[in-house]
Structure 1
Amino acid sequence: MKKRLISVLSMLLAIVLLAACGKSATPNASNSTAGAGTGNGQAKTYKVAYIARAQSDSFAAWLANAVKEEAKKYPNITLDVFDGEANDEKENSMIENAITNKYNLVIVQPNNGEAQRPYVEKVVKAGIFAITTNARISGIEGASSVDANPYEQAGVNARAAIEQIPQNAKVVVLKGPSGNFHADERRASWQKEFFDKRPDVKIVGEQIANWNKDEAMKYMEDWVQANDKIDAVISMNDNMAAGAIEVVKDNAKFKDMLVYGVDGTAEALLLIQEGKMTSTCMQSAYDLATKLLDTSNKLLTGAEKQIDTDIGNPLVNKENVQQYIDVLKKAGAIK
């Protein structure tokens, strides 16, 4: 009788234990189907490809590094960075490879927006999240964007230059790649906000230097030989502006030359501090990276379906440059 009672009690205990196990398994199963887990209790991770325009471009390199650092804050995201080397075919091939390798999300920093447009459209059609940045490619249904306002980036410089550039000045203009949204919008802004209002100013040289410092130096060398005086360099980015400054750094005839850029790179901030550059517009790679990873996370986890957002466009000049230098020092970008 005693043995029989022990046997019954053992069976009842086993039933209770099985019921308890069944209840504890239910939440895990629910989380897995919701996409928050992998089915074994671990958080789901997502593969993100970041395709940079060109690591040789100082701003593009800064942005790529900022994206890498920001991605470390997201344990659910695995980031791979690729260098498009300022080559449309190479960048387009990298986008196609990202589709083939089944990345969950692809971030594209276009070399030439219209050249990359059909390939970003392929990303969306493949059911993969797409974000375009610096510069955005507008009008792709289903794609998101994180960018700045390039018209206003140039505009803050151009409006200041109205009072700074002397009467009957001779100026040169360094442009970014034709067809690039930022390059075209910045040049349009300078036209409307400055040149249309200052018909006395003469453009004695204007060339596409493709955001590249070396190309800008070559054009500046030609312009210096052809002109006894250049009152201002109007550049669509800091990298080209720095190239122009390098050419005339030891030439006393150009010591009062005004120089304008966009990006707020470490080099540009130091040139402003030294009095060799007039102003730039801060296009913070850190702010872009923060928004890029936040946007990626929201899309991947289903919090949002599409996001289009911009960062600010503050003017940086000798009056406020130190605060921006301090930010880059804190981040390790300036020693």
Structure 2
Amino acid sequence: MKKWLAVLLVVTLMMSILVGCAKPATNEEPAGGEAEAGDKPFRVAYIARAQADSFAAWLANAVSEEADKYDNIVIDVLDGQASDSTQNALIENAITNKYDAIIIQPNNGEAQRPYAEKAVAAGIITITTNARIDGIQGASSVDADPYEQAKVNAVVALEQIPQGANVVVLKGPPGNFHADARRESWEKEFFAKRPDVKIVGEEIANWNKDEAMNYMETWVQANSKIDAIIAMNDNMAAGALEVVKDDSRFDGILSYGVDGTAEAVLLIQEGLMTSTSLQSAYDLAAALLDTANKLLTGVETQIDIDIDCPLINSDNVEQYIEMHKKAGAIR
């Protein structure tokens, strides 16, 4: 009798374990993105365009810091190294490794499109950012409006750039949504309205400071008069300014960018850069993690949002320097 009782107890214990293991999972999550004790956090791959790009590095760091606020999310930051093939391989690896979500900051949206579509097809939450890839069914996006980013500069440049000016233009990579839309905005909002302005140099510098410096060195050798640098991001504007900072022929040269990086706001404070449009990596990171959390927990199934793009110039630069100081980017 005792033997049968012991067997019955063992069977009962095993049944209770099996029932416990078979308990259905729940998507419910405590407020504030905190994971229940024992739950595995969601795994998110953030694929950066290039850590050598000052804005991409700023955004990647901001994403990492923002992720620390979420107990239910663990994020891996991966460097695309400004290479389509590298980024595409990273996306494929993230799919193979079954991440719960993939956030892509494309190097070239059209080159990454089929790989982002693969991620969606694999049932992985996919978010594109800076710049979004439009038209991917089932993907979400967090971005800013690049046309407006350039427009806020172009509108003030109409009055600032002198009559008969010589200008140089530094562009981002072709096929990149932000690069193309910002250049289109300058064309419609400035050059079409100022036919007196002559472009004496225009090149693709791929958001890169060193490439911008190389082009600017060539342009200053060929032109004794350059009145303005029109760059599609701060990194390229800063590179061009580096070339002419000690050349008296270019004292007072105007310079425009986009991003509002720590370097750019310091250049504006010094009177070396004219203006930039803020593309806050802090705001993007906050929106990205909030979006990822809502999608991962099933609160929403599709999210497409843009952040604001205020103009930064000498009138308001101190508040943006303070913003960077609070974040530790300026000491």
- TM-score over 0.5 for the alignment? yes
Distance 2:63 2:25 in 1: 30
- Per the alignment, in what secondary structure is the counterpart of residue 295 of structure 1? helix
- Per the alignment, in what secondary structure is the counterpart of residue 49 of structure 1? strand
Q: Which amino acid aligns with 1:147?
A: D
Asked if structure 1 preserves the Cα contact closer than 8 Å seen for 2:27 and 2:298, the reply is no
- Per the alignment, in what secondary structure is the counterpart of residue 275 of structure 1? coil
The answer as to 2:224 corresponding to 1:228 is yes
Counterpart in the other structure of 2:26: 34
Find the partner of 1:123 among 116, 119, 124: 119
Q: Which moved more, 1:266-275 or 1:43-52?
A: 43-52
TM-score (norm 2): 0.91
Q: Which amino acid aligns with 1:33?
A: A
TM-score (norm 1): 0.90
- Per the alignment, in what secondary structure is the counterpart of residue 262 of structure 1? strand
Asked if structure 1 preserves the Cα contact closer than 8 Å seen for 2:168 and 2:201, the reply is yes
The answer as to 2:181 corresponding to 1:189 is no
Q: Which amino acid aligns with 1:193?
A: E
Greater radius of gyration (CA): 1
Counterpart in the other structure of 1:19: none
The answer as to 2:290 corresponding to 1:286 is no
Cα distance change on mapping 1:89 and 1:228 into 2, 3 Å: same
Distance 1:57 1:98 in 2: 22
Q: CA deviation at 1:256?
A: 1.0
Counterpart in the other structure of 2:7: none
- Per the alignment, in what secondary structure is the counterpart of residue 33 of structure 1? coil
Q: Which amino acid aligns with 1:262?
A: V
Instruction: Write the mapping of 1:287-306 to structure 2, written as runs, cut at 5 A.
Output: 287-306=283-302
- What are the ranges of 5 or more consecutive residues in structure 1 without an aligned counterpart? 1-21
Q: Which amino acid aligns with 1:320?
A: N
Distance 1:29 1:310 in 2: 42
Q: CA deviation at 1:129?
A: 0.3
Asked if structure 2 preserves the Cα contact closer than 8 Å seen for 1:36 and 1:44, the reply is no
Asked if structure 1 preserves the Cα contact closer than 8 Å seen for 2:207 and 2:233, the reply is yes
Instruction: Write the mapping of 1:167-316 to structure 2, written as runs, cut at 5 A.
Output: 167-316=163-312
- Per the alignment, in what secondary structure is the counterpart of residue 328 of structure 1? helix
Counterpart in the other structure of 1:141: 137
Q: Any idea what the Cα deviations from partners look like across 1:268-322, whole Å, max 9, x if unmatched?
A: 0000000000000000000000000000000000000010001001000000000
Asked if structure 2 preserves the Cα contact closer than 8 Å seen for 1:35 and 1:44, the reply is no
Distance 1:191 1:237 in 2: 16
- Per the alignment, in what secondary structure is the counterpart of residue 111 of structure 1? coil
Distance 1:244 1:85 in 2: 22
Q: Which amino acid aligns with 1:247?
A: V
Distance 1:211 1:249 in 2: 20
Distance 2:37 2:262 in 1: 44
Find the partner of 2:160 among 161, 164, 183: 164
**RMSD value over aligned CA atoms?**
1.7
Distance 2:26 2:237 in 1: 51
Counterpart in the other structure of 1:16: none
Q: Which amino acid aligns with 1:226?
A: A
